Structure 1
Amino acid sequence: MIEMVIEQRRRSLGGGLEVGRVLPFAKRRMVGPFVFFDHMGPLDLAAGVDRGVDVRPHPHIGLSTVTYLFAGEMMHRDSVGSELAVRPHEVNWMTAGRGITHSERFEKARAEGDHLHGIQAWVALPTEFEETDPSFSHHEGADLPQWEAAGVRGQLIAGNAYGLTAGVKTHSPLFYAHLDLDGGAKAEIPSGHAERALYVAAGEIEVGGMRYATGQMLVLSAQASHFTAVQPSTIMVLGGEPLGQRFLYWNFVSSSKDRLEQAAADWRAGRMKLPDADDKEFIPLPEDPAPSAPAMS
């Protein structure tokens, strides 16, 4: 039932902000179109926290970023003019396409302190949409259907699952959901997708007689149909159809190494527009310009 278990690896983003990186992983670069998966926190940020914890303006191509919080608040600003905070159980969905820049700032935390906990994922775009116009959308309420049954409280973040459809525009078949389970509760795993995974954001679950805990992603076989919470747990359920080979370098994703090199050159030369409301600083290109190993879904 479990093809692979991926343990999060702790990574510092600077300024005291640390994440648990799950995807990409050396032996499993993607799950469906999901090419990047970071677990942020849980982390307490004291009032007056240094601006070094912020994620300064930086670029993307060839993907959609998906920011989803269990707790806390982040302020998003981007080069298409968006300026909006994301709060718990809301979704910021940013499609980079041919190129976008954005920042993520912890302004609420700086003013009054905050408790941050959430997930940031990247969804690779199909080849025909890799150079689409950049865009941003924010979703809450009816856009993100919720349900509750037998000790399971769910919210659909994107795609189609559990007989529901989220209001987020996606570019390929996928599903992404947040489940909170009481201890002993059993939850269904959506079927009908070529690749699927569970991520334990908090708690402990049992699948096929084996137990798995916080910080583990379970890549599932076609036979996996349900799991049980050993204790109160928060689980992300995700998957979709594979897109084929993708190359990754820094914040760029593409089916073409040449396109990655062009994006790196554009950022180095200052040819990518910064957010109007946040254009005084940016993250420079890393020293090594070589594209990373390919990601295969």
Structure 2
Amino acid sequence: MPSPFADIVDLLNIVPQGDEAAVAVVRAHDGQLTKPPGSMGEMERLVEFLARWQGKGRPTLENPMVAIFAANHGVTDQGVSAFPREVTAQMVANFTSGGAAISQICALHELNLRVFELALELPTGDITQTAAMDDKMCAATIAYGMEAIAGKPDLLAIGEMGIGNTTIAAALYAALYGGTGADWVGRGTGVDDAGLKRKADAVDRALALHKPELTDPLAILARLGGREIAAMLGAIIAARQQKVPVIVDGFVATAAAAVAHAVNPAAIDHCIFAHVSAEHAHRAVLEKMGKRPLLDLGMRLGEGTGAALAAVLAKTALHLHSNMATFASAGVSGKAH
């Protein structure tokens, strides 16, 4: 009987390449703008990133989307969070009514905010007692996440909401990269020292319980992961296939990219990492994947806020590239030889 993950593995391994001809067009135009070459640093590279993965010498940001995936976790029964599980649904309502930080960022900067609820009334299994999901449910949730790009965004920023999910992300990192719970957990929503110890202990017990089945990255995701992480993986996969560049948020969202990277490192070439979280292990994860964060703002809110701010920078970078005068149009003398 074929694995439910067979098609997903194929999509992660057979990936479209970036368009270097489009990047060359961007660089040629950039060289004509009224500034010294390279003087805008990462802002120039953001435009190249958009061109490479949209496959367009004139990239667009007409429909930039921030997609937030929300789910609940059985591991919260282990006292790993400072907040009760009900807060996930309450915060989803806050997103849609405009009261959350991500809602305000998106409204101010004209980013399309979409919130995807993943069976909030049905938490995943408590990973210290049982598998989070079976393979079939995990594969179906990845497939659901692929639908995030149905609205045809030209940039996708992914984030999440889920009480308990920093514990889940820490468990995934420990299974993918080794180490103990203490190496990977952080304070999340603000747990005290006793809560931090409970988080580390929960990760260690989960690793011990599932050890025989942690045989490959997608099995790890099913046993230890969450629906929002599986759905973000689906969004990453679909975006690559449809030529949509992706901005990944913080500690938890990066776990989806880490699973993809563990299957095929090239599968996340179309992703940039918005920021390094104040969760201490996030920097280590990015280093494991050889990725450099765009921003370091000491943030650890989640809900896509870092990714949205990176999208704002991308919008700004593209606006400059598209609207600055050239040396010729401004009558400004070029570089002396």
- The two structures have a TM-score, normalised by structure 2, of 0.24
Which protein shows a greater Rg?
A: 2
Higher relative contact order (Cα pairs below 8 Å, separated by 6+ residues):
2
Structure with the higher strand share, 1 or 2: 1
Structure with the higher helix share, 1 or 2: 2
